[in-house]
């Protein structure tokens, strides 16, 4: 009986060893992407995950404030429906950004973010950059650059983070890692394989 048990354990290890595990950065970015699936923004669904010592502290996604209407429910972007100018877009946007939601949740629960890393599916805007700096987050890892129609404004956001000595890195999740992760999203994730 004991050799059979040993064989099953060894076989399972062999199966697991053939799968590519994501790096920690890829893993946390995929969690941020999963958080974005809760977004109610029609323009740019985004997600964020704050991590310290390889432990998730808080998550966030962009969406309307609690109890208020969502653009997704109306089927139209509120700000764009008003034809509000790009340079003043945050004045009339219903959504709080993913980073702001994640940082606010930590503050609401009394959790320090000092020295942590935030994983964002989109490079942070100026408002979120300020919140990141003020909350003590030390590292920003993002997937997509913000690329607004006002490049000077985008550069200012980057400068704010650089001057605060916040490390900023872009990550691209490898296709192989994403394909492997998608297999785990199917309904049979934890069915017996051996």
Compute the radius of gyration of the chain from its Cα atoms: 20
- In whole angstroms, what is the distance from residue 59 CA to residue 70 CA? 19
* Phi, then psi, of 174 in degrees rounded to 5: -60, 145
- Asked if 72 and 41 count as a contact pair (C-beta separation under 8 A), the reply is yes
Active-site residue (options: 26, 99, 123, 143): 99
- In whole angstroms, what is the distance from residue 119 CA to residue 47 CA? 8
- 83: left (phi > 0), else alpha (psi -120 to 50), else beta? left
Active site residue 114: no
Instruction: Decide: helix, strand or coil at residue 42.
Output: coil
**In the block, which residue shows the tokens 């051996």?**
194
> Would you name the residues annotated as active-site residues?
99
């Amino acid at each position: 009986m004991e050799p059979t048990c040993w064989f099953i354990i060894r076989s399972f290890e062999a199966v697991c060893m053939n799968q590519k595990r994501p790096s920690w950065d890829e893993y946390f970015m995929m969690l941020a992407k999963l958080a974005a699936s809760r977004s109610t923004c029609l323009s740019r669904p985004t997600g964020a995950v704050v991590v310290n010592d390889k432990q998730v502290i808080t998550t966030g996604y962009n969406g309307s404030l609690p109890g208020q209407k969502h653009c997704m429910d109306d089927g139209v972007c509120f700000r764009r429906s008003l034809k509000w100018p790009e340079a003043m877009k945050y004045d009339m946007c219903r959504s709080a950004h993913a980073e702001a939601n994640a940082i606010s949740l930590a503050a609401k629960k009394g959790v320090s973010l000092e020295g942590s890393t935030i994983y964002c599916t989109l490079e942070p805007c100026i408002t979120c950059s300020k919140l990141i700096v003020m909350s003590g987050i030390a590292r920003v890892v993002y997937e997509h650059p913000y690329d607004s129609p006002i490049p000077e404004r985008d550069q200012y956001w980057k400068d704010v983070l650089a001057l605060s000595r916040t490390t900023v890195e872009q990550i691209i999740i490898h296709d192989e890692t994403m394909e492997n992760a998608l297999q785990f999203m199917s309904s049979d994730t934890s069915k017996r394989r051996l």
